Structure 1
């Protein structure tokens, strides 16, 4: 919420009312497609709605909002064969994602 409000403060614009504060992406999707509300959300989390045209993005740059997403395991974890395959695929896609230019 602070980041959202700071964007308006830095633009010297009045802060909008924020009638809903929610951490559930599923709930946010439902609210957004049925209203004229705005949200700060990764486009990846609503890509299906963007692809279908039911949501649109507003091109903007919000500084200092990049975050690292990773997998955490126990130190003494011994993965099953399937889990190891999954982690291999995950590592591959993470590496490819860092080296591919933005679309």
Structure 2
């Protein structure tokens, strides 16, 4: 529950980031209360190190920590609000001239996610 999770130190994304909004949403209930210890960090390498060396928790896609979870170094906890999804975007410069591989990647994105074009 959020109340139980608030007992742990949290690693949070910078203000304005979508994951930060999810974090704030999770603890907006007055009954849960916000965690007393938070570390603001946007570097996955630093987040990984903090998770491995402490009892801190964070909101993170299990795909990002797949190898650590598979090796038993980290444990994925279920999100209190169930399965959650987030938008992933590709942003390019107006004058961008993609390589062949980049062009193919963008074509694949449009094929598999036509709503993202």
Q: Same fold (TM over 0.5)?
A: yes
Question: What does residue 43 of structure 2 align with?
Answer: 24
Is 1:37 aligned to 2:56, yes or no? yes
Gaps of 5+ in 2: 1-19
Q: Match for 2:100 among 80, 84, 89?
A: 84
Gaps of 5+ in 1: 99-103
Deviates more, 1:51-60 or 1:11-20: 11-20
Q: In the TM superposition, what whole-angstrom CA distance separates every residue of 1:41-98 from its partner, at most 9, and x where no partner exists?
A: 2222222212212111111246875112214143x4333xxx21243145436755x6
Larger RCO (CA under 8 A, 6+ residues apart): 2
Question: What does residue 87 of structure 2 align with?
Answer: 67
Q: Which has the higher strand share?
A: 2
Question: What does residue 101 of structure 1 align with?
Answer: none
Q: Which has the higher helix share?
A: 1
Aligned equivalents of 1:53, 1:70: Cα separation in 2: 32
Return the TM-score normalized by structure 1. 0.66
Would you say how many aligned residue pairs link Structure 1 and Structure 2? Answer: 93
Aligned equivalents of 2:30, 2:76: Cα separation in 1: 19
Aligned equivalents of 1:53, 1:3: Cα separation in 2: 26
Is 1:51 aligned to 2:104, yes or no? no
